[in-house]
Amino acid sequence: MSLGNLGNILMLTCLLASLIQALYLIYPHTSFGKININYRVLTRIIFITCLASFLLLIYLFLESNFNYQLVVNNSHSEKPLIYKIAGAWGNHEGSLLLWILVLSFFNFVFLETKIKNTEFKKYVISFQSLMIFGFTLFLLLTSNPFLATENITNEGLGLNPILQDLLLAIHPPILYVGYVGYSIVLSFAVGGMITNKIDQEWARWLHPWVIVSWIFLTAGIGLGSFWAYYELGWGGYWFWDPVENASLMPWLAGTALFHCVIILEKKNILQSWVILLSILTFSLSLIGTFLVRSGILNSVHTFASDPSRGLFILVFLAIILIISFTLYAIKAPTLDKKSKINIVSKEAGILANNWLLLSSLFVVFLGTLYPLAVDLFLQKSISVGPNYYVLSLMPILLLLLLIMIVGPVSKWQNDKLTNILFSISKLFILSLAIIFAFSIYFSELKLTQITLLTLCLTLMLVSIKNGIRTNRNYSIISPSLGKSLAHIGFGLLILSVIANTTFATEKIFQAQVDDLLVIDNYKFKFDKVNQTKGKNFNAITATFSLLDNKTVIETFKPEIRIYSNPPTVTSETSIVRKFLADIYIVMNIPENADFVNVRIHIKPMMSFIWFSIILMVLGGISSIFFRIKLIK
């Protein structure tokens, strides 16, 4: 039996097993209700077959088996080992298989958790299996990775050089875990509604899953942004590009969701709202995938795409939405417990934050999909400039920061506004003074900048104070530490982004060897140009030295790489990270020119942007360990 057939058989087994499990959603209510299926065995079969076929695919790439179409299209025998492996999921078919693997992995891990309510467990697993079934069917019908090639060749076409990057090899799997993680959240909602189990205990079970997905999504977005920063060579890290927005939308909904689960867990209110957010978050994950994979978006990031694939995802989304909303419509009257929320309380703060996050979501959603609608109905091609996002999100961000400052320090149930304001007043005045001093002594700031920066700084200081106050035993695993870290991270992120956009400078030079390039207080000397040879490319490397009174402080080696499989030219940036600013050099050579084009960016606070995302992820990790401990 050929390896490809083995892969097909594995996926067919998975399809069958997931179908049998998914049917459990219906057959307790039919005359077959007596049939007992072993959900434990089925779940394990599903997971093992998915894992085996994914490993098989990697093996095919490793041995450069050019009997298979996918390997021919995406690999090359001379490619470095790590990119052969990454090639397995660096394409539509492979990434779909990875998507299914993650779906079944979450299903499997959920099976092994110590939740005693088997009725609930069975329904969650069945709904998750329904999704696995849908995607496996899609894979087998339209995008089979184990398809044999029609024309036998001895060599592959290669992987797009721009994708031959270590970070890009790990970025999609991480993002996928985030997206797909919200599938189990939706399954929780469906299972909980069927078994009438939307209560505090349910919220406690759900909580770690919401955080896990959030951690991976945050990390995935961060890595993607980091990659765009050094690989694309534009000096930017976020372009409000549709593909980026596609990952930001589930993040916003997911962030709202996990704040809201906290209220449900504590106060046993807002059941409907949590359910709706669960449905919304996974739907946005699907829409995100749809937007990226269907190719209907005009993006700076391009992917192999095919409209029919997009159509499937849309149909699938519709089915998921119909099932979950029908269920919601039936169960909604029994869901909500009587609730009254005081306007000055922690739960009110979280709820306000929820609305603000959803408002931002609305802004991003509109900006991303409006061009599509215009294209569809008016046959006009448009794009939305970054200014739209910046201007629309600014007021929301202001309110969000305010709520993030006062929310965490207020008490559950009922609090006095004066108490809250008093407890943060000193830190607020301190922050205002610092920003004012900066504005007077260093560089004049506009009013909006002063307001935003002050709020960011206050948020960070208040969160630090809170973290210390509520965590006196210095435990690393604690929800309050996690919260503080994540909030400090968010404050720092906005602060650094504002500082970065305000103070960044860039200059373009047409330089010849021995030229002196001056930008701000930095002097660079253009030393030489060499030709070098890499593993699977030829490179032209230029050398620049950063000078301080004729002594060389740093050397920069930006490159132009010429790949032959497939033939592509890329620019490699050279970045030196200083504590306060990045120095970023990228170059290229116009045809027939005797000079090189050099662009130098000075980008302040760049390291802080990455650090702030790490803080947020660490915050998530800290609280996830606490949550897992809580379930045990």
Is 518 among the residues that bind another protein (CB under 8 A)?
Answer: no
* 418 three-state secondary structure: helix
Which of 312, 613, 576 lies closest to 492 in space, CA to CA?
Answer: 613
Is 367 among the residues that bind another protein (CB under 8 A)?
Answer: yes
Is 545 among the residues that bind another protein (CB under 8 A)?
Answer: no
Among residues 35, 429, 440, 508, the one that binds another protein under rule CB under 8 A: 508
Q: Rounded to whole angstroms, how far apart are CA atoms 549 and 525?
A: 12
Q: How far is CA 68 from CA 37, 231, 460, in A?
A: 37, 30, 53
Q: What x-and-dash track marks residues 88-107 binding another protein by CB under 8 A?
A: --------------------
Name the segment binding another protein (CB under 8 A); options: 70-78, 193-201, 300-308, 317-325.
Answer: 300-308
One-letter amino acid identity for 166?
L
Q: What x-and-dash track marks residues 129-168 binding another protein by CB under 8 A?
A: -------------------------------x-x------
The site for another protein, by CB under 8 A, has a size of 40
Output the six-digit token pair for 150. Answer: 């029609």
Is 588 among the residues that bind another protein (CB under 8 A)?
Answer: yes
Asked if 269 contacts 336 with a C-beta cutoff of 8 angstroms, the reply is: yes
Among residues 121, 599, 601, 627, the one that binds another protein under rule CB under 8 A: 599
Compute how many other C-beta atoms are within 10 angstroms of the C-beta atom of residue 412: 12
Rounded to 5°, angle at Cα 543 from 542 and 547? 145
Output the six-digit token pair for 440. Answer: 């007077």
Is 243 among the residues that bind another protein (CB under 8 A)?
Answer: no
Helix ranges restricted to H, 546-605: none
Least CB distance to another protein at residue 588 (A): 5
One-letter amino acid identity for 256?
A
539: left (phi over 0), alpha (psi -120 to 50) or beta: beta
Compute how many other C-beta atoms are within 10 angstroms of the C-beta atom of residue 219: 22
Least CB distance to another protein at residue 27 (A): 43
Q: In this complex, which beta carbon is closest to another protein, that of residue 328 or of residue 388?
A: 388
Q: In this complex, which beta carbon is closest to another protein, that of residue 137 or of residue 296?
A: 296
Is 298 among the residues that bind another protein (CB under 8 A)?
Answer: yes
Is 382 among the residues that bind another protein (CB under 8 A)?
Answer: yes
Name the segment binding another protein (CB under 8 A); options: 115-123, 340-348, 366-374, 491-499.
Answer: 366-374
Q: In this complex, which beta carbon is closest to another protein, that of residue 134 or of residue 367?
A: 367
Asked if 603 contacts 235 with a C-beta cutoff of 8 angstroms, the reply is: yes
Q: What x-and-dash track marks residues 446-485 binding another protein by CB under 8 A?
A: ----------------------------------------
Q: In this complex, which beta carbon is closest to another protein, that of residue 304 or of residue 477?
A: 304
Burial class of residue 542, CB neighbours in 10 A (0-12, 13-18, 19+): buried
Least CB distance to another protein at residue 238 (A): 16
Compute how many other C-beta atoms are within 10 angstroms of the C-beta atom of residue 281: 31
Q: Rounded to whole angstroms, how far apart are CA atoms 27 and 116?
A: 22
Among residues 5, 77, 425, 510, the one that binds another protein under rule CB under 8 A: 510
Q: In this complex, which beta carbon is closest to another protein, that of residue 113 or of residue 392?
A: 392
Is 501 among the residues that bind another protein (CB under 8 A)?
Answer: no
Within residues 552-571, the interface with another protein by CB under 8 A covers 560, 566-571
Is 370 among the residues that bind another protein (CB under 8 A)?
Answer: yes
Among residues 85, 314, 358, 366, the one that binds another protein under rule CB under 8 A: 366
Least CB distance to another protein at residue 91 (A): 13
Task: Compute φ and ψ for 596, nearest 5 degrees.
Answer: -115, 150
Q: Rounded to whole angstroms, how far apart are CA atoms 206 and 264?
A: 11
Least CB distance to another protein at residue 247 (A): 17
Helix ranges restricted to H, 561-601: none
Is 597 among the residues that bind another protein (CB under 8 A)?
Answer: yes
Is 512 among the residues that bind another protein (CB under 8 A)?
Answer: no
Is 418 among the residues that bind another protein (CB under 8 A)?
Answer: no
Is 307 among the residues that bind another protein (CB under 8 A)?
Answer: no
Q: Rounded to whole angstroms, how far apart are CA atoms 557 and 552?
A: 14
* 506 three-state secondary structure: strand
Residue by residue, DSSP assigns 175-188 as HHHHHHHHHHHHHH
Name the segment binding another protein (CB under 8 A); options: 132-140, 190-198, 365-373, 448-456.
Answer: 365-373
Burial class of residue 551, CB neighbours in 10 A (0-12, 13-18, 19+): exposed
Within residues 392-411, the interface with another protein by CB under 8 A covers 392
Is 513 among the residues that bind another protein (CB under 8 A)?
Answer: no
Q: Rounded to whole angstroms, how far apart are CA atoms 235 and 573?
A: 9
* 593 three-state secondary structure: coil
Least CB distance to another protein at residue 436 (A): 30
Residues that bind another protein (CB under 8 A): 160, 162, 295, 298, 300-302, 359, 362-363, 366-367, 370, 380-388, 391-392, 508, 510, 560, 566-571, 586, 588, 590-591, 593, 597, 599
